[in-house]
Amino acid sequence: MQISGNTILITGGGSGIGRALAEAFHKRGNQVIVAGRRQAALDEVAEANPGIATATVDLSDARDIARFAAQIAGDHPRLNALLNNAGIMQPENWSAENVDLATAEATIATNLLAPLRLTAALLPLLRKQAKSTVLTVSSGLAFLPLAPTPTYSATKAAIHSFSESLRYQLKDTNVDVIEIAPPYVQTELMGAQQASDPHAMPLAAFIDEVMQILETQPDAHEVLVQRVHPLRFAAEQGREGYAKAFAQLNDAFAAR
């Protein structure tokens, strides 16, 4: 992926990793459009970064995604990069006598169905450009799941798998597919306390390393900061090694 001169749409761009990536791409000479549900959060990004455009969308609503995609195609006909970043992460209690599926269903709608729908809607536009990129954001938990957030981990595993297949299907086209797999990062994904959790990777350090990888490895298909390697490659330690890593991850989380 070229690091500058793109017109890039970033979902979930009002906060956290999405906002930080939007600002990083903006500083490198890209036209950036941040999208999300809350206009106030998007306006804050745009005010702090003159030149960044905004657009609202409800990613849990298939009809609104279709409307949004048509709006983006009309307003930004040179769009050549889509970064599917928006996501939610909430704990679930599957040991309860009656499991409430509301969280699981909302997670699947936002984390999995939304990027599939938006990618499908924008692919015709992306294929019109000389060179385009679809970027997906999975997670280290796609490879080593966190038991208290089973559906989140499952959707991120699905995003990894989808990214692999999409890349293969588009290999003879002008559209590349890049997967970014973050570790645990200091954002407010699971609440305000996460933003200062010493166990999490500082957001600025994560963004710096991601952008360095994109700049120095333009043909990379997976963007993996060093801190995510133990999660990403847990399965390569064999069954016993994987089981040990799984237990360590989940026992450590339970002890917090």
Which one of the listed residues 152, 168, 184, 242 is annotated catalytic? Answer: 152
Which candidate, 172, 171, 196, places its Cα nearest to that of 184? 196
90 located within any domain: yes
The stretch 207-225 carries a mean pLDDT of 96
Residue 152 falls in the annotated catalytic set: yes
Per-residue pLDDT for 256 more than 90?
Answer: no
pTM of the model as a whole: 0.96
What CATH code is carried by the domain that includes residue 75?
Answer: 3.40.50.720
Tell me which residue range forms the domain holding 150: 7-228
Tally of structural domains, the chain = 1
What dihedral angle (degrees, nearest 10) is formed by the CA atoms of 192, 94, 156, 49? -20
242 located within any domain: no
247 located within any domain: no
The stretch 69-79 carries a mean pLDDT of 98
253 located within any domain: no
Per-residue pLDDT for 173 more than 90?
Answer: yes
200 located within any domain: yes
Q: Residue 97 burial by CB count (10 A; 0-12/13-18/19+): exposed, middle or buried? A: exposed
151 located within any domain: yes
Mind listing the pLDDT tens digit for each residue in 187-209?
A: 999 999 999 999 999 999 999 99
Which candidate, 60, 63, 57, places its Cα nearest to that of 38? 57
Question: Residue holding tokens 């017109």?
Answer: 7
Q: What's the start-to-end Cα distance of the chain, in Å? A: 39
Sequence letter at residue 22: A
What dihedral angle (degrees, nearest 10) is formed by the CA atoms of 223, 225, 231, 235? 60
Can you say how many angstroms the Cα of residue 74 is from the centroid of all Cα atoms in its chain? Answer: 24
Mind listing the pLDDT tens digit for each residue in 135-164?
A: 999 999 999 999 999 999 999 999 999 999
Q: How many CB atoms lie within 10 A of CB 251?
A: 10
pLDDT of 236 reads 96
pLDDT of 255 reads 87
105 located within any domain: yes
Residue-averaged pLDDT of the chain = 97
19 located within any domain: yes
Alpha carbon separation from 66 to 127, 234, 244 (Å, rounded): 18, 38, 44
Residue 192: what are its φ and ψ, rounded to 5°? -60, -30
